[in-house]
Chains A and B, each alone.
Chain A
Amino acid sequence: MRKQKPLPGVNMTPMIDVVFLIIIFFICTMDLEKDKFDENVILAWARSAQAVGQEDPLTVTVNVREDGTIKIGKRLMSARTFQAIMQKTVNRYGTGVPVVIRGDRLVLHEHISRLTGVCKSVGIWKVKFAAIISEGE
């Protein structure tokens, strides 16, 4: 009995192995914190500011839209709710929790001031304003 010859062609198995490894790699390294950026907020430019480095994992990022709406993550909230959240955060983690305010460049300072006032009232002293430093790629 004659042995059958294998069909000619590229061996796909190792390639599929590697492709699956790459998929797993990208899933693991995917930025799951994308939700904390509100796409409706257009930040002001600050070309001379210090670029964001290693961020404290406890950082609370607050988005303030042009109309003054406050948003943390996917949730819209009032200033009072924001105060309650910050109070709970301080009770749990202390006053060293950094707060980054991502204010729209056109939002009135009145709305931003309300947030800094809340931070101050609960004892948070690490408040930062987010801005764009470059256009990226």
Chain B
Amino acid sequence: MGRRKRDRKRRFDENDGGVPITPMIDVVFLLLIYFVATVEPIPIFAHLNVYTPSSDAPPKEKPVDPPSLIRIEVHAEGFTFDGVPVNSRQLDGFLGTLARASKTQSVLIMCSLSAPHGQLVEVLNYCAKHELTNLSIMDAK
């Protein structure tokens, strides 16, 4: 009886070393892998589609009434909207008004060769903002 008591005491002493942390680490790493695999990164980049009008496109046999064309010029100094000089905010407003009337409105963007690329992207951004998709880009002299 006394010996059994001693054995039980010894076993208890051996297991008293602390909580086994190995399974916990295993599970923590599995959770880490799960979260890394399922995380959805915030989108950083965007793509703006470019449409360049082609002169050799075959003409349609029965053209439907073509919508009137809005012309935006992009220069190094700023923008013009149908020949009227405008700043970024005004351009945004005009395009918004245009989009409220018709989102399929044709917009011709004429970009000066000396204009920085950022200016053109700004115009495309406003068009994307107002969901104007019928865009064409041309070079202006």
Taking a contact as CB atoms under 8 Å apart, the answer to whether B128 and A10 are in contact is no
For B33, what are the chain A residues with a Cβ–Cβ distance below 8 Å?
21-22, 25
| One of B39-47, B62-70, B77-85, B100-108 at the interface | B39-47
Taking a contact as CB atoms under 8 Å apart, the answer to whether B50 and A18 are in contact is no
| CB-CB under 8 A for A129 and B48, given A44-B122, A48-B125, A105-B117 | yes
| One of A70-78, A79-87, A89-97, A110-118 at the interface | A110-118
Tell me the A85-134 residues at the B interface (CB within 8 Å): 100-101, 103-113, 116, 120, 127-134
Taking a contact as CB atoms under 8 Å apart, the answer to whether A52 and B46 are in contact is yes
For B113, what are the chain A residues with a Cβ–Cβ distance below 8 Å?
108-110, 113
Query: Contact check: which of B30, B36, B42, B124 meets A137 at CB < 8 Å?
Result: B42
Interface size class of B (residues with CB under 8 A): 35 or more
Q: Which of A19, A49, A110, A120 has the most CB of B within 10 A?
A: A49
The size of the chain A interface, using a CB distance under 8 A, is 48
Q: Given the complex of chains A and B, what is the CA–CA distance between A130 and B48 in angstroms?
A: 6
Output the least CB separation between B39 and chain A (Å): 10
Q: Given the complex of chains A and B, what is the CA–CA distance between A45 and B126 in angstroms?
A: 11
Taking a contact as CB atoms under 8 Å apart, the answer to whether A113 and B26 are in contact is no
| Chain B residue at smallest Cβ distance from A127 | B50
**B1 proximal to A (CB < 8 A):** no
Taking a contact as CB atoms under 8 Å apart, the answer to whether B128 and A109 are in contact is no
Interchain residue pairs with CB less than 8 A apart (6): A11-B22, A49-B124, A112-B120, A129-B47, A129-B124, A137-B41
Which B residues form the contact surface with A (CB < 8 A)? 17, 21-22, 25-26, 29-30, 32-33, 36-37, 41-50, 52, 54, 74, 111-122, 124-126, 128-129, 137, 139
Beyond A48-B128, A129-B121, 13 additional pairs, beta carbon < 8 A: A18-B29, A45-B122, A52-B43, A52-B46, A103-B121, A109-B111, A109-B119, A127-B52, A129-B50, A130-B47, A131-B125, A134-B43, A137-B42
